[in-house]
Chains A and B, each alone.
Chain A
Amino acid sequence: MSKEEIKKRVFKALKNIAPDTEPEKLSENSNIRKSLMIDSFDFLQFIVALDNEFAIQTPEEDYGKIGTLEELTSYILEQKSKNAIS
């Protein structure tokens, strides 16, 4: 899966949770939650959506690793490759 494909799916998940935002306008290094004003409830829903969409498991202690779009796409790629190996 390419980074572009991941981003497309991440945007879709964000749009579902916060329909009035424009996630595609996020810059690579801006904080997703702050930029889109996503509160802790919406963020939890977002994690649930990511886990379903990419068949990964995001433990709570990894929340700090997925602050920006760049971090998030790298994290998803990493998790998916881990899954593929195991």
Chain B
Amino acid sequence: MIDFRMPSLGADMESAFLREWKVKPGDVVKRGDIIAEVETQKGIIDIEVFNDGIIGDLLVKIDEKVPVGTLMTQIFSLEEVKTEVKKSGEAEVPKEKPNIHLEVHRASPLAKRIAAEKGIDLSLVKGTGTDGAITREDVDKVVVEQTSPKATSTKTAGENIRAAVAAAMSKSNREIPHYYLQTKVDMSGVLNWLAQENKQRGVKDRLLPIAPLIKAVAKALVEIPDLNAWWENGLQRKSGINIGFVVSLRTGGIIVPAIHDADKKSVGEIMQTLTDIISRVRSLKLRSSDLSDSTITITSLGDGAVETVYGVIYPPQVALVSFGGITDQPWADNGMLGVRPVLNIGLAADHRASDGNTGNLFLTLLKNLLKKPDLL
């Protein structure tokens, strides 16, 4: 049995409102299935499950404010359900949708009576009495919640996103002692490689320069794990390289979805993932996995004329890599002066977690990787 808890969808998130359950107890789910919709400052987000199994009781009510970490439901394996049913001496498990009742709701007689009168499903009431028994107060609380107007925010989505960015960035600048490094890369090799690649690709599969850049960052992080980490009671290195990519919204504000296991994806797969998540961000139709577990952030100015970004780290991460616009600049190579497409790469890193030398090693490695784009 696995406890399914409200996931954290970013360091700035403390809770969300449950808006819809997409499953009911006894439903069979597969990893990646969407089981609920919650509303956060970033809009409505689809909550996915990460395991195959059978859904237990739904422990959170519609429109309830759900703090991160709250138990929402439990997911049982088919074996567990079979054992459970056999124990209770019942016949064969029906193959589809085993309709199990997973726990008896202990409630005081008064609580039961009030619930029956008010038409409240006790399976959705959280008990605060001894051993989780439901008390009269628990039921009264639900009655009040149900009769009070919906707890919706009067702010617009744009204002909510602004507030979320403000909270995360203020926390960052308050708590993280940033240090900054910067370097320049001649991008002619990468751009020539991209042009050749794109000639062979259909229009839908064309690559943008950001795809090989993300891959190169992921590969460099494999060698420099101190930057792929969270700072939580000390340095916590992360095994997966999940790159948060800053997507700006046309209406203002940013959202930072994650590209999971970027080091294991090909450049083409990274591009595909980017296209998918950017379209979901722009339509504000995100999934919980899009927003969880980023271990570092990349921000890119795209094809503007501005060259350098001094990034603000997204806590609890310890580093942010920034790409400016690629601009033609004078470039000395082998004693000759020429004009090259030049990219400024910036690193903002947490000085509690690493020192300038780590950042230096990382950026040097990144530069070297970009010299051989075909090997990325």
- The residues of A with any CB-CB pair to B shorter than 8 Å are 18, 20-21, 37, 39-41, 44-45, 47-48, 51, 57-61
How many whole Å from B168's CB to the nearest CB in chain A? 22
Query: Does B213 sit within 8 A of A, measured CB to CB?
Result: no
Chain A residue at minimum C-beta to C-beta distance from B304: A39
In the complex, 11 of the A-B residue pairs with CB atoms within 8 angstroms, ordered by the A residue number, are A18-B250, A21-B250, A40-B208, A40-B210, A40-B302, A40-B303, A41-B275, A45-B275, A51-B203, A60-B195, A61-B195
- The residues of B with any CB-CB pair to A shorter than 8 Å are 195, 198-199, 203-204, 206, 208, 210, 248, 250-251, 274-275, 278-279, 302-303
Q: Which residues of chain A come closer than 8 Å to B250, judged between CB atoms?
A: 18, 20-21, 37
How many whole Å from B243's CB to the nearest CB in chain A? 16
Q: Is the interface of B mostly helix, strand, loop or mixed?
A: helix
Q: Which residues of chain A come closer than 8 Å to B210, judged between CB atoms?
A: 40
Query: Which of A40, A44, A45, A59 contacts B199 (CB under 8 A)?
Result: A59
5 A-B pairs with the lowest CB-CB distances in the bound complex, closest first? A60-B198, A41-B278, A39-B302, A51-B203, A40-B208
Known: A40-B302, A41-B274. A20 touches B251 (CB 8 A): yes
A63 to B92 Cα, complex, angstroms: 64
A60 to B209 Cα, complex, angstroms: 13
Q: Which residues of chain A come closer than 8 Å to B203, judged between CB atoms?
A: 44, 47-48, 51, 57-58
How many whole Å from A66's CB to the nearest CB in chain B? 13
How many whole Å from B275's CB to the nearest CB in chain A? 7
Q: Which residues of chain B come closer than 8 Å to A60, judged between CB atoms?
A: 195, 198-199, 206
Q: Are A48 and B251 in contact (CB under 8 A)?
A: no
How many whole Å from B326's CB to the nearest CB in chain A? 11
Q: Are B204 and A48 in contact (CB under 8 A)?
A: yes
Q: Which residues of chain A come closer than 8 Å to B279, judged between CB atoms?
A: 45
**Most chain B beta-carbon neighbours within 10 Å: one of A21, A37, A40, A47:** A40
Q: Are B251 and A44 in contact (CB under 8 A)?
A: no
Q: Which residues of chain A come closer than 8 Å to B206, judged between CB atoms?
A: 44, 47, 60
A48 to B250 Cα, complex, angstroms: 20
How many whole Å from A75's CB to the nearest CB in chain B? 15
How many whole Å from A12's CB to the nearest CB in chain B? 17
Q: Which residues of chain B come closer than 8 Å to A61, judged between CB atoms?
A: 195
A40 to B247 Cα, complex, angstroms: 12
A60 to B206 Cα, complex, angstroms: 9
How many whole Å from B95's CB to the nearest CB in chain A? 43
How many whole Å from B342's CB to the nearest CB in chain A? 18
How many whole Å from B198's CB to the nearest CB in chain A? 5
Q: Are B208 and A41 in contact (CB under 8 A)?
A: yes
A59 to B199 Cα, complex, angstroms: 7
A47 to B250 Cα, complex, angstroms: 19
Chain A residue at minimum C-beta to C-beta distance from B279: A45
How many whole Å from B204's CB to the nearest CB in chain A? 5
**Most chain A beta-carbon neighbours within 10 Å: one of B195, B199, B203:** B203
A41 to B199 Cα, complex, angstroms: 18
How many whole Å from A63's CB to the nearest CB in chain B? 10
Given A39-B248, A44-B203, A47-B203, 11 other A-B residues pairs in contact with their CB atoms under 8 A: A20-B251, A21-B250, A40-B303, A41-B208, A41-B275, A44-B208, A44-B275, A47-B206, A51-B203, A57-B203, A61-B195
